[in-house]
Amino acid sequence: MNLLMLSLDTETVEGHRGAFYNMLEVFHRHWERIDVITPAAKEVNVSNVFGNVHLHATSGGKAGRVRRIVAIGRRLMAERDYDFMIAHDSGLFQTDAPRGDCSGESACLTSVRSITCPDTPGPRTCASGWSAA
């Protein structure tokens, strides 16, 4: 199963091991491949983590960001099928997660923790059967 993620978190691309990196460390065990599209980072130091997580940072500033993200997404979807797509963080990829439960460091991980698969106990990454806990 393949996962396509859209994220505003550029820390992992820059080589930092923050909250998003930790989330990817858990997710990578449950997916054959994860492609993460991020906005331009200050410095692109990492393009792959855990062997199956591929990071795709756009170039340039906010102007034209959507166009560049769509172009990367189209290229990736032409290369392979994705079983699930998720938007992570906020801003352009705004989620429905409650803002009051979000850390200032990264994404609102409470929304990720609250997603469960009906066939397994606890939070899991799966391509179908998602429900809010």
**What is the extent of the structural domain holding 93?**
2-107
Gap between the Cα atoms of 101 and 94, Å rounded = 15
Q: What is the CATH number of the domain that holds 60?
A: 3.40.50
Going by C-alpha positions, the residue among 39, 49, 129 that lies closest to residue 84 is 129
Q: Is residue 125 in some structural domain?
A: no
pTM (two decimals) = 0.67
What is the tens place of the pLDDT at every residue in 68-111? 888 999 999 999 999 998 887 655 544 344 433 334 333 333 33
CA distance 132 to 49: 28
The pLDDT assigned to 91 comes to 54
Which helix (H) or strand (E) segment is 6 a member of?
Answer: strand 2-7
β-partners of residue 131 are 116
Q: Round to whole Å and give the CA distance between 99 and 37.
A: 22
Q: Over the stretch 28-41, which tens digit does the pLDDT of each residue have?
A: 999 999 999 988 88
Domains of the chain: total? 1
> How far is residue 97 from each of residues 18, 20, 27, 107, measured CA to CA in Å?
20, 16, 19, 9
Let me know if residue 53 belongs to a domain: yes
Q: Quote the pLDDT of residue 2.
A: 94
Structural domain includes residue 133? no
Instruction: Flag whether 24 is in a domain.
Output: yes
